[in-house]
Amino acid sequence: MHSRRFWQYVRRHGRAYLIGYAASAVAVAMAQLSPWALRAAVDAIQHGAGGRLGMFAGILAALALAEAAATYVMRIRILSVAYRIESDLRHDYFAHLQRMPLRFYQRMSVGDLMARAVNDIRAVQRLAGVGLMRSVQTTIMIVASIAAMLTLHAGLTLLMLTVMPLITLLYLGLGREIHRRFDRVQAQFASLSTRAQENLSGIRVVKAFAQEPAEQARFAEEVDAVVGVNMRLARVQGALWPAIGLIFGLASVVLLWQGGDLVIRGGLTLGQMVQFSYYLARLTFPMVALGWITNLWQQGSASMQRLDEIFSVTPEIRDPEHPAALATPRGALEFKNVTVAFDGARVLRDVSFAVPPGRTVAIVGPTGAGKSTLVGLVPRLYDPVQGQVLVDGRDVRSLSLVSLRRAVALVPQETFLFSDTLAENVRLGLDGSEEPAGAPDGGAAVTRAAAVAQLAGDIERFPLRYETVVGERGVTLSGGQRQRTALARAVIRDPRILILDDALSSVDTDTERRILAELRGIMATRTCLVISHRISAVRDADWIVVLRDGRIAEQGTHETLVGADGLYAALYEQQLLRDELDAPDAGPITTEPRPPSRAPRA
Amino acid sequence: MNAMIDEDQIIGRAYDARLMRRLLRYVRPYRRVVAAAIGVLLIASAADLVGPLLYRVAIDRYIAPHAAGARALGPASDARGLAGVAALYVAILGAGFAARWLQSNLMQYVGQRVMADLRMEMFGHLQTLSLGFFSRTPVGRLVTRLTNDVDALNELITSGVVAIFGDVATLVGITAIMLWMNWRLALAAFVVLPAVFAVTERFRRRARGAYRAVRTRLARLNAFLNEHLMGMTVTQLFTQERRSRARFDELNASLLDANLSSTRNFSQFYPIIQLLGAIGVAVLLWYGGGQVVRAAATLGVLVATVQYAERFFDPLRDLSDKFNILQAAMASSERIFRVLDEPVTVEDPPAPAPLPHGRGRLEFRDVWFAYDDDEAWALRGVTFAIQPGESVAIVGHTGAGKTSILNLLTRFYDPQRGQVLVDGVDVRRVAQRELRRRIGLVLQDVFLFAGTVDSNIRLGNADLSTEDIRRAAERVGAHRFIEALPGGYGAVLQERGAGLSVGQKQLIAFARALAADPEILLVLDEATSSVDTETETLIRRAMATALRGRTSITIAHRLSTIQHADRILVLHHGRLVEEGRHADLLRRNGIYAKLYRLQFEVEARSAG
Ligand SMILES: Nc1ncnc2c1ncn2[C@@H]1O[C@H](COP(=O)(O)OP(=O)(O)OP(=O)(O)O)[C@@H](O)[C@H]1O
Ligand SMILES: Nc1ncnc2c1ncn2[C@@H]1O[C@H](COP(=O)(O)OP(=O)(O)OP(=O)(O)O)[C@@H](O)[C@H]1O
Ligand SMILES: [Mg+2]
Ligand SMILES: [Mg+2]
């Protein structure tokens, strides 16, 4: 076990282990003494002296009682501590993962992280518990038993120990092979769960495309492979314990044969021979356990290694050494020659623009232009490789993450809801960095935010209203309802800087207009970044930035851009509903503001 | 949330005859192998039991014949006799080894086959369950059913059942031998048995509660962890780390509590049984020694009885471990069977009607539909018909029920009232796969599988050439960025397509529907909501030629997407309120005209 972290956890509970081991030594000592009493009794019986039998029986019982008490202390101490270590480890794992940036989660699969949290932490717990307990206990037991046997009759002991090298050979030979095959079993098992996970997460697609038979065939392959690797493991593993049993059986034969011979020839008393058989029996279990313990060590250290892999990742995005706080942020925002690259591929190049406090800047551009990446720089979901992002004139990398993110609310392009009540999902927007528990209930705030996001009407129609529990990722809501919940979450936060990443894409234009009207009051005093593909959502912005292939293609106000005959003008033109040319006689509409009869570029 | 917790709850009985019977049904196909395994197991157990017996023979006949009151043979013949016994012992040990090895292989085989059968059955069943089930059930839980829960059964079959058989055989064997050798001594050793039973019973009762607590709390913790890993970015963006960590710590602490109290129970059981065993031996020695002294028993019998008595307690001491296995297996099978018993609510008819070929007429007849049977209608009396080759758009406020219409059309759900007909046939009368094969669907929620771009577009369809895939991608304007990915169409996507922009993901999902080349219908639910207008226009042009003559349904909030539709249906609170061509609807000055004007207003103002 090379993991320093593991030993740190163990050391933290050093006292408990020491007490446990002391108790273990006592238990072994008692276990060693009882065969002496037994032998004395047998010898006494053999010589017809029954008078002291009661005393021997009493001694045996007393020894057993002491042994049981010591065993109990050992188990309760060490096994409990192992669960505490497990709990600490799990806490640290989660706390560590909370510091990992978005890029980390894009690289790692949740299934993998879960497997480590479930299987690997359990393996470490078993090592810290039964593993460490048995390792020491077994060693003491083996040494003590052999020592006791040697004092009884060295020659006979050595004779019996001739079978021991067989055990070593067995472990070396089979052990390595078992380890290899076991690894393969684990890998195949992981592959099976990944298949299942993918199929079930994508079940809507599977059904929509009638892929069930193909999926079943692929799953069957995985299942068959699982059977195959397990049978290969079983062939060697199934031999291990019986083989150890066999070897100890042989030792027992040696004892019967040679020991018996000694008794016949008077070199040993019958009582001593019985005592010997006792030690041998006490040796068998530890020896069998040795294989099992080796296994625990191997699995435990492999698992700890997998956990260390995660622990050793330092988040690329973290607090600076001397983080500054944004006490009263004004919300001035500036991108200064920002370049972003993912795995060497540049996604944004040399982007610069500024947003004065309280202003709204819209970002438009084709799919994959880098819009989401750009706004993700503000709350530091990503960091640029070159250039700076400044909030109130300060590089975001010099601020503490909490203080930065407290000032910002970003509604991500892809909505994530927790399978909790709607109220809880909205309340999540309230800053949680101050009060760890029992944060303000915010009942009124929730309804207000829901009203701004035009969600209140929908919620009123649900039987359980705000207490409606949504399915995983919010699957029991319509697309637009989900998106508006995420919006309400940002509204309740009351941020200095509000960022909407295409946050109204699943909302109809009527609802969009009403949301924007409500938001206008909020946005008037706040700095806003708005990404949208819809002209209707961006035209009122103070400034519009057009991104293309990671660069700023053009920027300006709606009016100037429409006149500029660039990308924006083209976009605008395409969104014009030119059908209205076919419906000039659309009677009642003429009472509304008159529609232009052609593109307003002229 | 409550429903979730309840699902993980288990009754937690260690032994449930009903469950056991049902489990055994899966073992039945392999009963010959099991019989063989039990056969060799009995041999192995017998071989185990012979040891002390041989000791007794050796002691009484050759080593200490005088103490047994038997006639002495002379040292030389004693030694020869002893060697004979030793040789016999070796032979028996060899047989025992072979029997054990064989037995473990046989049982592994049975266990693995049963698991494979169960997994395939469960997986197959899951594929037939309706989406209603999947929107109630977290994916992680179902994965656990298919993986760890099935594994817990394996342990029961391979080690549990056999070990229990073996233990019972051993216990019965030992008891018989002891009674046969000297029943008085045997009874002396057994005086502690009532105490053993009492202790075991108390342990069992406590273990059951402790086990249930551990399992439930662990499931809760893992569900929390899984979800919060998926939503970690949201937690971070809203600086909720501390709050969610506090919640996590709560769950963690409550699991620790359960683990500690379970450990306490286990830690007590083992030493107490050991102690009782030792007391049994002490009693035996005290009473048996007297018997030997009084020549009522031989020394060999006493020694053998002591050895047997020790062995008698071994399996009892291990009972705690086996009990765990049994309990885990029962809990797991309870949950597995709950999945298998989940009724298929959207079922194929026993004799599915064939779907007439190549037309594509659809009809909704007075359809009423609610997701839960609580009268929260998502659709109320919707009636419309779409002619073959027509392109129809559905618009309406968010939550109006547009997606719900598609859910019924593709038979993801069944309506409470009314009928959905494709080419005059009720969709409930045709096989679901048959129906869906005719429909190309782009879902509102994009889902990409971990795997290559190619496999995401192709899905299971091996017949498609790479050229087909490429053409589909070109039509939706995805070719350019796919080519730019490292590896192009062979580029491996992460979970849920992480590493692509949202619009790019949507385009891949769109290409998938085109590649499937549906016979009658293309259904697009907000298929380009995250795509820029330029790409969208390009797609529309490409589709106009590709889909000539095919029926299509488009749902979109961006009206420029749908303005060219032959007909537009307007939904409002689950009712079909308007229907007609773009121009007609404008003239009606209803909801559509309003939605239209709102987009329109933009141009009006900027033009003015
Ligand atoms: N984690 C990542 N790793 C590698 N490449 C990425 C990653 N995230 C985004 N990209 C790439 O960076 C480019 C910009 O992505 P981004 O999500 O910023 O686009 P976008 O402008 O928001 O597009 P959309 O309008 O589709 O949302 C895309 O080509 C995308 O494939
Ligand atoms: N799986 C589900 N379980 C329960 N209720 C649902 C489910 N899916 C949708 N609903 C409810 O049914 C109603 C109609 O939803 P639907 O998804 O059809 O709306 P939509 O018109 O597609 O809206 P959007 O434009 O927002 O996608 C909504 O009130 C929604 O909350
Ligand atoms: Mg984006
Ligand atoms: Mg929808």
Q: Which CATH superfamily is domain A323-407+496-602 in?
A: P-loop containing nucleotide triphosphate hydrolases (3.40.50.300)
- Residue A593's pLDDT is 35
Alpha helices for A411-495 (secondary structure H): 422-427, 443-452, 456-461, 479-493
Question: In sequence order, what DSSP letters do the residues of A97-141 get, joined into one string?
Answer: HHT--HHHHHHS-HHHHHHIIIIIHHHHHHIIIIIHHHHHHHHHH
Residue B357: pLDDT above 80? no
Which H, E and C letters describe A160-201, residue by residue? HHCCHHHHHHHHHHHHHHHHHHHHHHHHHHHHHHHHHHHHHH
- Tokens 């559905």 locate to B394
Helices B241-293 and B193-230: crossing angle in degrees, nearest 10, is 160
Distance A480 CA to ligand 4 centre (A): 7
Please answer yes or no on whether B286 and A539 come within 8 Å at the CB atom: no
- Residue A91's pLDDT is 94
- Residue B8's pLDDT is 53
Give the Cα separation of B513 and B249 in Å (integer). 45
What's the average model confidence in pLDDT over B439-456? Answer: 85
Give the Cα separation of A204 and B353 in Å (integer). 24
Residue owning the nearest CA to atom 28 of ligand 2: B399
Residues B412 and B314 in one domain: no
Contact in structure between B466 and B489 (CB atoms under 8 Å): yes
Give the Cα separation of B589 and B577 in Å (integer). 12
Chain B partners of A421 at a C-beta cutoff of 8 Å? 1
Contact in structure between B543 and B510 (CB atoms under 8 Å): no
Distance A478 CA to ligand 2 centre (A): 4
Closest CA to B436 of B131, B12, B54: B131
pLDDT tier for residue B601 given thresholds of 50, 70 and 90:
low
Give the ligand at the shortest distance from the Cα of B374.
2
- Tokens 């290694």 locate to A305
The sheet with strand A527-531 has its strands ordered as A408-411, A497-501, A527-531, A360-364, A543-548, A551-556
List CB-based neighbours of ion ligand 3 within 5 Å. Answer: A 372, 413; B 501-502
Please answer yes or no on whether A56 and B75 come within 8 Å at the CB atom: no
Assess if residue B416 is contained within a domain: yes
What ipTM was estimated for this complex? 0.83
SS3 call for B471: helix
Tokens of A494: 């009351």
Helices A509-524 and A443-452: crossing angle in degrees, nearest 10, is 120
Residue A276: pLDDT above 50? yes
Cα separation values, B397 from A375, A384, A515, A532, B601, Å: 28, 39, 13, 19, 18
pLDDT in tens, B57-79: 777 777 766 654 555 556 666 77
Structurally, how many domains does chain B consist of?
2
Q: Shortest CB distance from A245 goes to which of B97, B109, B445?
A: B97
Residues B389 and B241 in one domain: no
Interface of B with A in 391-430 (CB under 8 A): 395-399, 403, 410, 412
pLDDT tier for residue A577 given thresholds of 50, 70 and 90:
low
∠ CA(A221), CA(A225), CA(A231), 5° rounding?
Answer: 150
What is the pTM (predicted TM-score) of this model?
Answer: 0.83
User: For residue B341, what are the contacts with CB-CB under 8 A and spacing of at least 6?
Assistant: none
Distance B402 CA to ligand 2 centre (A): 8
Structure-model confidence comparison of residues A494 and A587, the more confident one: A494
Q: Shortest CB distance from A428 goes to which of B127, B238, B374?
A: B238
For chain B, the residue count is: 608
Residue A597: pLDDT above 70? no
- Residue B125's pLDDT is 92
Q: Which atom of ligand 1 is nearest to the CA of A366?
A: 25
Assess if residue B513 is contained within a domain: no
Interface of A with B in 188-217 (CB under 8 A): 189, 192-194, 196-216
Q: How far is B19 from chain A (nearest CA, A)?
A: 24
Please answer yes or no on whether B371 and A476 come within 8 Å at the CB atom: yes
Give the Cα separation of A535 and A548 in Å (integer). 16
Residues B316 and B410 in one domain: no
Residues B311 and B395 in one domain: no
Q: Shortest CB distance from A416 goes to which of B83, B234, B292?
A: B234
Assess if residue B355 is contained within a domain: no
Give the mean pLDDT of chain A.
82
Q: Which CATH superfamily is domain A4-311 in?
A: ABC transporter type 1, transmembrane domain (1.20.1560.10)
Chain CA centroid to CA B368, Å: 34
Interface of A with B in 376-415 (CB under 8 A): 379, 381, 402, 405-406, 408-410, 412-414
- Residue B14's pLDDT is 53
Residues B421 and B560 in one domain: yes
Whether A372 has its CB under 8 Å from any CB of chain B: the answer is yes
Residues B152 and B184 in one domain: yes
Whether A105 has its CB under 8 Å from any CB of chain B: the answer is yes
Alpha helices for B129-192 (secondary structure H): 131-136, 139-144, 150-155, 162-181, 183-189
Give the Cα separation of A97 and A91 in Å (integer). 10
- Residue A426's pLDDT is 86
- Residue B10's pLDDT is 54
Contact in structure between B534 and A571 (CB atoms under 8 Å): yes
pLDDT in tens, B218-263: 888 888 898 888 888 888 887 788 888 888 999 999 999 999 998 8
Handedness of CA A460, A462, A467, A471 (dihedral sign): negative
Give the Cα separation of B211 and B323 in Å (integer). 11
Q: Is the CB of B110 under 6 A from ligand 1?
A: no
Distance B368 CA to ligand 2 centre (A): 14
Distance A441 CA to ligand 3 centre (A): 33
Residue A213's CB is within 10 A of a number of other CB atoms, namely 12
- Residue A433's pLDDT is 56
pLDDT in tens, A374-425: 999 998 888 898 889 998 888 888 888 888 888 888 888 888 888 888 888 8
- Residue A53's pLDDT is 76
Chain B partners of A60 at a C-beta cutoff of 8 Å? 278, 281-282, 285
Tokens of B293: 């002294």
Q: Which atom of ligand 2 is nearest to the CA of B132?
A: 1
Cα separation values, A550 from A65, B30, B364, Å: 77, 63, 47
- Residue B521's pLDDT is 74
Assess if residue B467 is contained within a domain: no
Handedness of CA A211, A215, A218, A224 (dihedral sign): negative
Whether B126 has its CB under 8 Å from any CB of chain A: the answer is yes
Please answer yes or no on whether B460 and A478 come within 8 Å at the CB atom: no
Assess if residue B346 is contained within a domain: no
Chain A partners of B560 at a C-beta cutoff of 8 Å? 574-577
Distance A431 CA to ligand 4 centre (A): 31
Assess if residue B512 is contained within a domain: no
Scanning every residue of chain B, which has its alpha carbon at the shortest distance from the alpha carbon of A262?
Answer: B63
Q: Is the CB of A347 under 6 A from ligand 1?
A: yes
Assess if residue B335 is contained within a domain: yes
Residue owning the nearest CA to atom 23 of ligand 1: A368
Of B402, B446, B524, B557, the residue with max ligand 2 atoms within 8 A of its CB, to mutate for a pocket test, comes to: B402
Give the Cα separation of A388 and A405 in Å (integer). 17
Tokens of A427: 């309340």
Assess if residue B442 is contained within a domain: yes
Whether B76 has its CB under 8 Å from any CB of chain A: the answer is no
Q: Which CATH superfamily is domain A416-494 in?
A: P-loop containing nucleotide triphosphate hydrolases (3.40.50.300)
Distance B231 CA to ligand 2 centre (A): 22
Lowest mean pLDDT among A165-179, A203-217, A478-492: A165-179
Domain range summary for chain A, segments of one domain joined by +: 4-311, 323-407+496-602, 416-494
Distance B558 CA to ligand 4 centre (A): 13
Closest CA to A87 of A134, A124, A127: A124
What's the average model confidence in pLDDT over A528-537? Answer: 84
Give the Cα separation of A546 and A399 in Å (integer). 29
Residue B290: pLDDT above 60? yes
CA end-to-end distance (rounded Å), chain B: 53
User: For residue B363, what are the contacts with CB-CB under 8 A and spacing of at least 6?
Assistant: B384, B385, B386, B419, B420, B421, B422, B424
Contact in structure between B25 and B121 (CB atoms under 8 Å): no
Whether A284 has its CB under 8 Å from any CB of chain B: the answer is no
Scanning every residue of chain B, which has its alpha carbon at the shortest distance from the alpha carbon of A113?
Answer: B229
pLDDT in tens, A586-596: 333 333 333 33
Q: Which atom of ligand 1 is nearest to the CA of B484?
A: 29
What residues make up the domain containing B366?
A: 362-447+520-607
Structure-model confidence comparison of residues A129 and B542, the more confident one: A129
Q: How far is B495 from chain A (nearest CA, A)?
A: 6
What is the β-pairing status of strands A527-531 and A497-501? Answer: parallel
Chain CA centroid to CA B146, Å: 3
Long-range Cβ contact pairs of B531-534 (< 8 A, separation 24 or more) = B531/A367, B531/A533, B531/B503, B531/B506, B531/B507, B532/A364, B532/A365, B532/A366, B532/A367, B532/A533, B532/A571, B532/B503, B533/A533, B533/A571, B533/A574, B533/A575, B533/B558, B533/B560, B534/A366, B534/A570, B534/A571, B534/A574
Contact in structure between A17 and A132 (CB atoms under 8 Å): yes
Distance A501 CA to ligand 3 centre (A): 7
Scanning every residue of chain B, which has its alpha carbon at the shortest distance from the alpha carbon of A401?
Answer: B239
Whether B236 has its CB under 8 Å from any CB of chain A: the answer is yes
Residue owning the nearest CA to atom 6 of ligand 1: B499
Helices B75-128 and B31-57: crossing angle in degrees, nearest 10, is 160
Please answer yes or no on whether A246 and B93 come within 8 Å at the CB atom: yes
pLDDT in tens, A291-337: 778 778 877 888 888 889 889 988 888 888 888 887 788 888 999 99
Residues B291 and B381 in one domain: no
Residues B308 and B422 in one domain: no
SS3 call for B492: strand
Please answer yes or no on whether B63 and A270 come within 8 Å at the CB atom: yes
Give the Cα separation of B70 and B79 in Å (integer). 16
* Residue A566 φ/ψ region, left for φ over 0, alpha for ψ in the -120 to 50 degree band, beta for the rest: beta
Give the Cα separation of A243 and A290 in Å (integer). 13
Chain A partners of B150 at a C-beta cutoff of 8 Å? none
Give the mean pLDDT of chain B.
81
Which H, E and C letters describe B196-243, residue by residue? HHHHHHHHHHHHHHHHHHHHHHHHHHHHHHHHHHHCHHHHHHCCCHHH
The CATH number of whichever domain residue B392 belongs to comes to 3.40.50.300
Residue A436: pLDDT above 50? no
Q: How far is A256 from chain B (nearest CA, A)?
A: 7
Q: Do domains A323-407+496-602 and A416-494 have the same CATH topology?
A: yes
SS3 call for A405: helix
pLDDT in tens, A445-463: 788 888 888 888 888 888 8
Whether B538 has its CB under 8 Å from any CB of chain A: the answer is no
Q: Shortest CB distance from B268 goes to which of A46, A72, A80?
A: A72
Give the Cα separation of B354 and B477 in Å (integer). 36
Chain B partners of A211 at a C-beta cutoff of 8 Å? 459-460
What's the average model confidence in pLDDT over B474-484? Answer: 86
- Residue B198's pLDDT is 87
Backbone angles phi, psi at B551, to 5 degrees: -75, 140
